[in-house]
Amino acid sequence: SGAMASSLTHSAFRLGASHAGFRTRCASKTPRAFARTSLVVRNEGTGRFIVGGNWKCNGTIESVAELCKGLNAGKIADNVDIVVAPPFLYIDQAVEALDAKRFKVAAQNAWVEYTLQDPTHHYDSDTGAFTGEVSAEMLEDLDVPWVILGHSERRTLMGEDNVTVGKKVAHARYHGLSVIVCVGESLEERESGETLDVIFAQLRAVADEIDDREHSSWGSQVVIAYEPIWAIGTGKVATPEQAQEVHAAIRQWLVDNVSEEVSKATRIQYGGSVNDGNCEDLAKYSDIDGFLVGGASLDADKFVQICNSSVAHYKAVGRL
């Protein structure tokens, strides 16, 4: 596996002067890769590879049926967890059509009354006067097991801030939903060297809500998806070194702010123009525990190939 399967040294991500090196590398529009001599194995994840398909606001009854048929027909390795997120209107159709042994279904969002102050971190509302929203209680009632929260499109287009996302995660976990929580920086933030500051603030908002462990377990039921905003739907992809760099920093942040046990158990996905052509190169890095896929998840053959990049991951990290 060698350097391709290795995590970056943690010292590169300490606060203060440690960020200077990161900022220098990110200031360039084409940041160079780290020298291979700077790579060592540390705190790599221990969870199963996990691939999510975010169908976003796409689909018709006919296209969803065809996509589910194609996914069911795909030959997929048995060492990967797969979650697909149809639009709300097609969740029931996907649940009925997909092979439940291989595919779990997620919602793309869940409401929380963000103005509530709740020391229990449950955030249950006393009213349903939120026209157009879907609650975690409804998803729980329908046995929808997963939800994607904090996606950059909701942060930027819908104005969801870090505090709101943290409350959403806590509320969803209280109602038994497993969560894929998205974090990531804009191109301007990356080029100004603020990537880790932005991501750590996003993680802190989540940790402040669920770190009491009263009703959740980070490692088994909260997946972190690193999605650099500048790479989502643009065709631009972070290099494997750039993605690994941030994933390793996230894992070290979990060590420092939650626990080493949680750091090892938490799965960290990469998202941002992942496709069937780049997935294997990305999967070879030890802290990349899977993918959150957008456009390519609408093509069954491409998505199946991305799911099968789990084999490359396990080989590279010596777990196969």
Active site positions, annotated: 151, 227
Residues 6 or more apart whose Cβ sits within 8 Å of residue 281: 240
d(CA 111, CA 132): 10
Q: Count CA atoms closer than 13 A to 161's CA, side-chain side.
A: 3
Q: Which residues of 66-102 are buried (b: 16+ CB within 10 A; e: fewer)?
A: ebbeebeebebeeebbbbbbbeeebbebbbebbeeee
**Distance (Å) of CA 145 to CA 105, 138, 177, 201, 273:** 7, 11, 5, 27, 25
Q: Count CA atoms closer than 13 A to 132's CA, side-chain side.
A: 0
d(CA 65, CA 239): 34
Phi, psi of 178 (to 5 degrees): -80, 145
d(CA 183, CA 151): 7
